[in-house]
Amino acid sequence: DAKTTQPPSMDCAEGRAANLPCNHSTISGNEYVYWYRQIHSQGPQYIIHGLKNNETNEMASLIITEDRKSSTLILPHATLRDTAVYYCIVYGSSNTGKLIFGQGTTLQVK
Amino acid sequence: DAGITQSPRHKVTETGTPVTLRCHQTENHRYMYWYRQDPGHGLRLIHYSYGVKDTDKGEVSDGYSVSRSKTEDFLLTLESATSSQTSVYFCAISDVSGGHNEQFFGPGTRLTVL
């Protein structure tokens, strides 16, 4: 399974963009990059996913590098409610339905 | 919100007693999962199910068993609870299709084993 590497913590000023990086240098061609977040004591929540093109939805944007070895989750205007642990996960059909959550990045919006 | 409930939401039990946690869904999703979350370990997969009566192990399955006799219910059993199984347990559901695996999580069950 492809592994991901994320910084353990980041800070962001309220109203500014939060850019959360993720390295996944061993990603396979058919594996997607998923992002989830977990607000304190709640279950994780799906944010966005992508294969190789940049993706945007109402919550965030996902930028994947051309070589697909890294990606960045962008929260365009962070609010205090975005304070959470953010998980970057690589998933493909060979994972047989299993998502493997790492330690994630704790984002503190101040 | 996806229709997922977990019961009980909180439980305190003693070492050596059996414990069963229930996850119930109203979404008719094929896949169901049990995770545990502990400080310093993040979220770890215990067992999952890919259909009625079809289950498989996750990362930390020792000491746990599961059953799924119908689509909407996924049970997690601790045959003989130990203090190391004190944790928060999350259930999740998903309709896995190819590379798509958006999981929806329940509210969690806080289990304390004394």
Please give the share of chain A, as a percent, with pLDDT higher than 70.
Answer: 98
Question: Roughly how many angstroms between the first and final C-alpha of chain A, as a whole number?
Answer: 35
Average pLDDT over residues A92-103: 82
**A52/B contact by beta carbon, under 8 A:** no
Burial of B67 (0-12, 13-18, 19+ CB in 10 A): middle
In this prediction, residue B2 carries a pLDDT of: 64
Tens-digit pLDDT string for chain B (114 aa): 569 999 999 999 999 999 999 999 999 999 999 999 998 778 999 999 999 999 999 999 999 999 999 999 999 999 999 999 999 999 999 988 777 889 999 999 999 999
Pairing relation of β-strands B42-51 and B31-38?
antiparallel
Q: Using the beta-carbon criterion (under 8 Å), do B101 and A99 form an inter-chain contact?
A: yes
In this prediction, residue A29 carries a pLDDT of: 87
Q: Which residue has the tokens 């279950």?
A: A43
Nearest chain A Cα distance for residue B31, angstroms: 8
Interface of B with A in 32-91 (CB under 8 A): 33, 35, 42-45, 48, 50, 56, 58-59, 88, 90
Residue of A nearest to B1 (CA): A45
B35 CB neighbours in chain A (<8 A) are 101
How many CB pairs (< 8 A) connect A and B?
A: 63
Q: Using the beta-carbon criterion (under 8 Å), do B42 and A101 form an inter-chain contact?
A: yes
H or E element, residue A33: strand A32-38
In this prediction, residue A20 carries a pLDDT of: 98
CA–CA gap between residue A102 and residue A14 (Å, rounded): 26
In this prediction, residue A79 carries a pLDDT of: 96
Cis peptide before A44 (omega within 30 of 0): no
Higher pLDDT, A92 or A1: A92
**Given a cut of 80, is residue A89 above it in pLDDT?**
yes
Residue of B nearest to A42 (CA): B107
Q: Using the beta-carbon criterion (under 8 Å), do B101 and A91 form an inter-chain contact?
A: yes
Whole-number Cα distances in Å, B73 to A37, B51, B60, B70, B95: 25, 11, 21, 6, 15
**B105/A contact by beta carbon, under 8 A:** yes
Average pLDDT over residues A4-32: 94
Nearest chain A Cα distance for residue B51, angstroms: 11
